[in-house]
């Protein structure tokens, strides 16, 4: 049966295996160089991208395959062809589809009608590919994920959602440090809490940044204004100013803590120059790991169909 990565929940039983696979691919890239020989990945982007687009495209080239950038403006979707029909047709040409969408329901719809794997390249609910690379980066630094304290500081958004679920799946103690009115969705927090009960991890929401970051092994942040939220820019900046990841937060974290940011970063807003360029930052390894993680995701979905 065809498998998709729409939510990080789709990897509930294999997330650790995929993280380890991504680390092996990073260590031994030549072992996998023909794994997607003559295969094509279609990439539909409704929103901008630097990392996701380039890492998927380069990943496919390095695996011996090919990636096509598909803008919805140029596809017939832009002129009213349904997502279901698009899925039916693309399934006849391609081997895999990556979709970055405004609405998660459209990613679900594409997957429902696709005969080939669909990978969510970010929507308004989740960013599952990002979290594979993030947890890979944490595992490279700490060897084991279980029991680590990971604090997400900022907006309870798509990245926060996948991080809560993925971290809980790995038995981590995950904290969402978000201001009132910007908490992660309740359904996600409930799901993550249930996962943590199974794995021995925990999930907490703490509104005070200093309290949340005490003894953190990982501090993670993301933009305050996600793609699609631009109209709320002013009110969001006011609500999040106290949630900047700066030296004060790093000081209360564990001595060997790492700081992650999915990027793009807005320096001076959600993170300071000192922190993102400082000794605790692992943001550039994290960005690199997107490419190794994309390979692991593609190969896992494609080979285990």
Q: Report what 222 binds from ligand CP, ligand NVA, none; CB cut-off 5-8 Å by kind.
A: ligand NVA
**Shortest distance in whole angstroms from residue 205 CB to ligand CP:** 23
Pairing outcome for strands 149-153 and 218-221: parallel
Choosing from 39, 62, 123, 130, which is the catalytic residue? 130
**Shortest distance in whole angstroms from residue 287 CB to ligand CP:** 8
Rounded distance between C-alpha atoms, residue 130 and residue 52, angstroms: 8
Choosing from 4, 51, 100, 161, which is the catalytic residue? 100
Interface region with ligand CP, contact rule CB under 6 A, candidates 43-51, 173-181, 191-199, 242-250: 43-51
130 labelled catalytic: yes
* Cβ-contact 283, 131 below 8 angstroms: no
The verdict on whether omega for the bond into residue 80 sits within 30 degrees of 0, i.e. cis, is: no
Cβ proximity to ligand CP: between 108 and 134 the closer is: 134
Rounded distance between C-alpha atoms, residue 86 and residue 195, angstroms: 34
**Shortest distance in whole angstroms from residue 59 CB to ligand CP:** 13
**Shortest distance in whole angstroms from residue 38 CB to ligand CP:** 26
Task: Using DSSP, state whether 152 is helix, strand or coil.
Answer: strand
DSSP string, 238-263: HHHGGG-B-HHHHHHS-TT-EEEE-S
Q: Which of 62, 91, 114, 130 binds ligand CP (CB under 6 A)?
A: 130
The rounded Cα 26 to chain-centroid distance in angstroms is 18
127 labelled catalytic: yes
Rounded distance between C-alpha atoms, residue 302 and residue 124, angstroms: 25
Q: Report what 50 binds from ligand CP, ligand NVA, none; CB cut-off 5-8 Å by kind.
A: ligand CP
**Shortest distance in whole angstroms from residue 171 CB to ligand CP:** 25
**One symbol per residue from 246 to 275: x for binding ligand NVA (CB under 6 A), - otherwise; what is it?**
----------------x-------------
- Please name every residue paired with 96 in a beta bridge, in sequence order, or none if there are none: 41
The rounded Cα 11 to chain-centroid distance in angstroms is 13
Q: Report what 120 binds from ligand NVA, ligand CP, none; CB cut-off 5-8 Å by kind.
A: none
Q: Which of 28, 50, 61, 304 binds ligand CP (CB under 6 A)?
A: 50
Torsion-angle region of 80 (φ positive above 0: left; ψ -120 to 50: alpha; else: beta): left
Q: Which of 145, 151, 135, 59 is nearest to 96 (CA)?
A: 59
Query: For 23, what's the count of Cα atoms within 13 Å in the CB-facing half-sphere?
Result: 14
Rounded distance between C-alpha atoms, residue 73 and residue 80, angstroms: 11
Task: Using DSSP, state whether 134 is helix, strand or coil.
Answer: helix
Cβ proximity to ligand NVA: between 182 and 302 the closer is: 182
290 labelled catalytic: yes
Choosing from 290, 292, 294, 300, which is the catalytic residue? 290
**Shortest distance in whole angstroms from residue 285 CB to ligand NVA:** 17
Choosing from 39, 222, 236, 286, which is the catalytic residue? 222
Rounded distance between C-alpha atoms, residue 224 and residue 243, angstroms: 9
**One symbol per residue from 222 to 241: x for binding ligand NVA (CB under 6 A), - otherwise; what is it?**
xx--xx--------------
Site for ligand NVA in 152-181 (CB under 6 A): 157-159
* Cβ count near 33 (within 10 Å): 13
Site for ligand CP in 157-216 (CB under 6 A): none
Q: For binding to ligand NVA (CB under 6 A), which residues are involved?
A: 122, 157-159, 222-223, 226-227, 262
- Sites of contact with ligand CP (CB under 6 A): 49-52, 122, 130, 262-264
Q: Which are the catalytic amino acids?
A: 100, 127, 130, 222, 262, 290
């Amino acid at each position: 049966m065809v498998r998709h990565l729409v939510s990080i929940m789709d990897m509930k039983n294999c997330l650790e295996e995929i993280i380890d696979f991504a680390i092996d691919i990073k260590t031994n890239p030549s072992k996998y160089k023909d794994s997607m020989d003559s295969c094509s990945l279609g990439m539909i982007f409704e929103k901008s991208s630097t990392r996701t687009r380039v890492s998927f495209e380069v990943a496919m080239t390095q695996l011996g395959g090919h990636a096509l950038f598909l803008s919805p403006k140029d596809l017939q979707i832009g002129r009213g062809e349904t997502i279901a029909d698009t899925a039916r047709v693309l399934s006849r040409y391609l081997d895999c589809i990556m979709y970055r969408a405004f609405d998660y329901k459209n990613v679900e719809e594409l997957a429902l009608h696709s005969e080939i794997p669909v990978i969510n390249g970010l929507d308004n609910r989740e960013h599952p590919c990002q979290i594979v690379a993030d947890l890979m980066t944490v595992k490279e630094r700490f060897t084991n994920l279980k029991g680590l304290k990971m604090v997400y500081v900022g907006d309870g958004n798509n990245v926060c959602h996948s991080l809560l679920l993925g971290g809980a799946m790995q038995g981590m103690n995950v904290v969402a440090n978000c201001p009132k009115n910007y908490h992660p969705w309740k359904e996600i927090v409930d799901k993550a809490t249930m996962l943590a009960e199974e794995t021995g991890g925990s999930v907490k929401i703490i509104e005070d940044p200093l309290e949340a970051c005490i003894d953190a092994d990982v501090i993670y942040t993301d933009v305050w204004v996600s793609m699609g939220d631009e109209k709320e820019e002013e009110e969001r900046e006011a609500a999040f100013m106290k949630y900047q990841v700066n030296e004060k937060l790093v000081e209360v974290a564990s001595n060997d803590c790492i700081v992650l940011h999915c990027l793009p970063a807005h320096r001076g807003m959600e993170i300071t120059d000192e922190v993102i360029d400082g000794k605790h930052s692992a943001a550039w390894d994290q960005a690199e790991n997107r490419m190794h993680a994309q390979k692991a995701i593609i190969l896992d979905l494609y080979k285990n169909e």
